[in-house]
Amino acid sequence: MNRLLLCLLLAAAAGLAEARDLRWVRSFTYVLQDPPIATLGASDFDLVIMDYSSNGEESGEFTPQQIETVRAGEKVVLAYISVGEAENYRYYWQPEWTPGNPEWLGPENPDWAGNFRVHYWDPEWQAIILDYLDRIIDQGFDGIYMDIIDGYEFWEPRGRPSARQDMVDWVSTLAHHARVDRGLSEFYVIAQNGEELADLTQPYAAEFTSTIDGIGREDTFYNDNTRQPIEERLWVSNFLDQVLGTGGLVMTVDYCSGAGRIDEVYSGSLARGWVPYVTTRPLDQMVINAGHEPPAGPPPTTAWRWLLPQALTTKRGTTLGNLAAVLGRDSEGVTYGETLLLSPEYAGIFSFALPADLPPEQILELRMVVNYMGPGAAEEKWYYALRDFATPRWAVVGSNAGVTPWHFTELDLGAPQPPQQFEQGGTLWAGTATAGTQEVCELDFVGLKLHYQR
């Protein structure tokens, strides 16, 4: 399909995205080996990721009635599907296949026996997976959880410079098939890994983030029981925040053990607005971690939504860096990612666009979040404010008071009620300023959090 036509069709369906809102999800579980239907259905998890089959093969395919059993309590039920590798235990596998025959079949993944790299851009492979998707749809799943989205990492250095755009196109094709060809406008499409495709500084990111409803990231905090290097974790965080800020659900999956590690994963993920889960790497059981049990009861009627700035207007002073530096959090403590440097005597305005599917009257609470490094307030005061269009005036919501000087500190600043006074014509403004003449500051992240009525 012509890429422009595909984008236009997806854009035409964008008004239906509100029905696919997953930002209310508080918990999820992930089971691929013989998913326990009754146990999953009786659990309090909001979202379930499972295989389409009890044994991974055609003989074990679940019935629509079994999927409905899992859905009990208004759960969202997603089917795992590998879109970037072929699996030799799936119904589509042919015994005569070997790497290079068919031409789109690549080498076996040395880390996962029976899984083979594929040219995921090849029409023959895509036809196989679209048939697989039809089976999943006919079973009654609410969406798909797509694995090997990061397949571009294998093919890009092997002579396929378009590998990233190819993957974005492939994800869009899958979404179009479910939502348009099959008429399921509320069908969820979630990526596993491949978070770099959400880099909003790249041309393919807008298509990717507007197509997916969320992303799951494995090994975010730990690789088994080895803590991820902080540089790796912050690099990943930058892109996960960009998914969050463009309206997607962010889930983290870690395979560590021990109460201390598990607590760290849950607290670290939740603090960023993500939804964590710690389980076993074989994904062979429904794990409920002590102290982190899924909340009981029906889905909440409210949720949080993040907005990322679309522009920065400098009114006084100068900047070093650009807006991309504050789209995701990739600095912590004294460990740097990309930052925006603001001069002394600075004043500037970050502008945000209220999503078209979020009427102002549904907003219950507004907060400004800033990851700040700079002087303490005694040395030089930096202020943060939101534009009150009703007055009109700037309403100061906080400052650098209480921060540890020259140490990245996340400021979570609440706005006065009612939040509607800070919106006009679908626009919100957040400002930062200092009258001091001595010290610069650095910003690693600027965003707005909106608590809204679903």
Q: Does 47 share its domain with 124?
A: yes
Q: Does 421 share its domain with 285?
A: no
Q: Does 142 share its domain with 196?
A: yes
Q: Does 158 share its domain with 22?
A: yes
Across the strands, what pairs with 313? 349
Give the C-alpha separation, 301 to 418, whole Å. 19
In the chain, the number of structural domains is 2
Q: Does 13 share its domain with 156?
A: yes
**Structure-token pair, residue 96:** 């005569």
User: Where a domain ends, among 250, 273, 300?
Assistant: 300
Residue 258's CATH number: 3.20.20.70
Instruction: State the pTM of this model.
Output: 0.94
Give the C-alpha separation, 210 to 190, whole Å. 12
SS3 28: strand
Q: Which of 372, 351, 375 is nearest to 428 (CA)?
A: 351
User: Where a domain ends, among 243, 265, 300?
Assistant: 300
Location of structure tokens 């989205």: 149
Q: Does 44 share its domain with 139?
A: yes
Location of structure tokens 């755009």: 165
Q: Does 399 share its domain with 338?
A: yes
Count of positions (residues) in the chain: 454
Q: Is 426 left (phi over 0), alpha (psi -120 to 50) or beta?
A: left
User: Where a domain ends, among 258, 273, 300?
Assistant: 300
Give the C-alpha separation, 386 to 422, whole Å. 7
Q: What is the rounded (10 degree) CA torsion for 117, 120, 122, 128? A: 90
Q: Does 270 share its domain with 293?
A: yes
Q: Does 118 share its domain with 249?
A: yes
Give the C-alpha separation, 332 to 5, whole Å. 42
Location of structure tokens 């029905």: 19
Q: Is 434 exposed, middle or buried (0-12, 13-18, 19+ CB in 10 A)?
A: buried
Q: Does 235 share its domain with 329?
A: no
Residue 398's CATH number: 2.60.120.260
Output the pLDDT for position 19: 62
Q: Does 182 share its domain with 209?
A: yes
Q: Does 280 share its domain with 324?
A: no
Q: Which domain holds residue 349?
A: 306-453
pLDDT, mean of each 10-residue run, the chain (454 residues): 40 49 97 97 98 96 98 95 98 98 98 96 98 98 98 98 98 98 98 98 97 98 98 98 97 98 98 98 98 96 97 98 97 97 98 96 98 98 98 98 98 98 98 97 98 96
Residue type, 75: K
Output the pLDDT for position 15: 39
